[in-house]
Structure formats: structure tokens, C-alpha cells
Amino acid sequence: MNIKEELLRLATFAMNNAYAPYSKYFVGATIYSVEGKFYYSCNVENVSFPCGTCAEAGAISSMISNGDKKISAILITSSGKELVYPCGACLQRIQEFATDDTLIYLANNNEIIKTYFLKDLLPQQFSPKEF
């Protein structure tokens, strides 16, 4: 199995385990780290809507908690009819751990439909040189 196939397989697995009793909108995301490992997660809703977690944020947390720090690629899939794009907050989260050529794959349950570089979806990234 190649990297793209594994990204899609794991994201679909995660999506099917999403906790989305309110929206009924299931999302899965898988990261392939620069170190060559896969990390995946799903959206987890909460009755207090701002307290939910996006699939991308969960996958990033999994990557960081396992000691990896850089995203080579991330794939996002959903149960919706249209492709799901990362929200603005998740694009900024991805940027925090991206490389200059981090790829974002958008897929349905069967195949990758679109591929972007992070800079295509977040051209004016918030990335101060110093704090």
C-alpha cells in the first residue's frame, strides 16, 4: 500500500469513528509526518459547540504527543457530499507544524480528489519571526 492509500484508509477509519451526534457530519484526518509515521483522528463534538475538536487538530495532537514535529502531508475526508476543507483555525494549526512543501489532500471515501500545498489554502500565514 502506498502513502496516499494509507492516508485515505486511516482517515476513513477515523471518520467512521467520529463523535458527531449533533451535526451528523463525520470528518477524518490523517497526517504523514516527515519522520514517516501516520497519525489520525476524527471530529469530536460537544453539546457546548465551541468545545468540540476538529479531526485535523486531533491528528496534530496525536503527532505531537508521539514526538514528531513536522507534517509532510495531511488528508481530510468527510461524510458530506462535497469535499471538506480545513477551517481557518486548522489551517493555522497545520501551518505551525508544516514544511515549505506540506501537502493537503482532500478526499471522498474512495479517492483523493484535490491536492494543495498549504500555502495555496493559507497564502498569508500568521508566522511572526519573533515574539
pLDDT of residue 129: 64
Cα distance between residue 12 and residue 17, in whole Å:
9
User: Which residues contact residue 83 at a Cβ distance below 8 angstroms, ignoring those fewer than 6 apart?
Assistant: 106, 107, 108, 113, 114
Domains of the chain: 3-121 (3.40.140.10)
Instruction: Indicate if 5 belongs to the active site.
Output: no
- Give, for all 131 residues of the chain, the pLDDT tens digit: 799 999 999 999 999 999 999 999 999 999 999 999 999 999 999 999 889 999 999 999 999 999 999 999 999 999 999 999 999 999 999 999 999 999 999 999 889 999 999 999 999 888 776 65
What are the phi and psi torsion angles at 62 (to 5°)?
-60, -45
Q: Which of 5, 35, 45, 56 is catalytic?
A: 56
Contact of 118 with 101, CB cutoff 8 Å: no
pTM of the model: 0.95
pLDDT of residue 131: 58
User: Which residues contact residue 107 at a Cβ distance below 8 angstroms, ignoring those fewer than 6 apart?
Assistant: 8, 11, 75, 76, 77, 83, 113
Residue with cell 490523517: 30
Q: Which residues pair with 30 in a beta bridge?
A: 40, 75
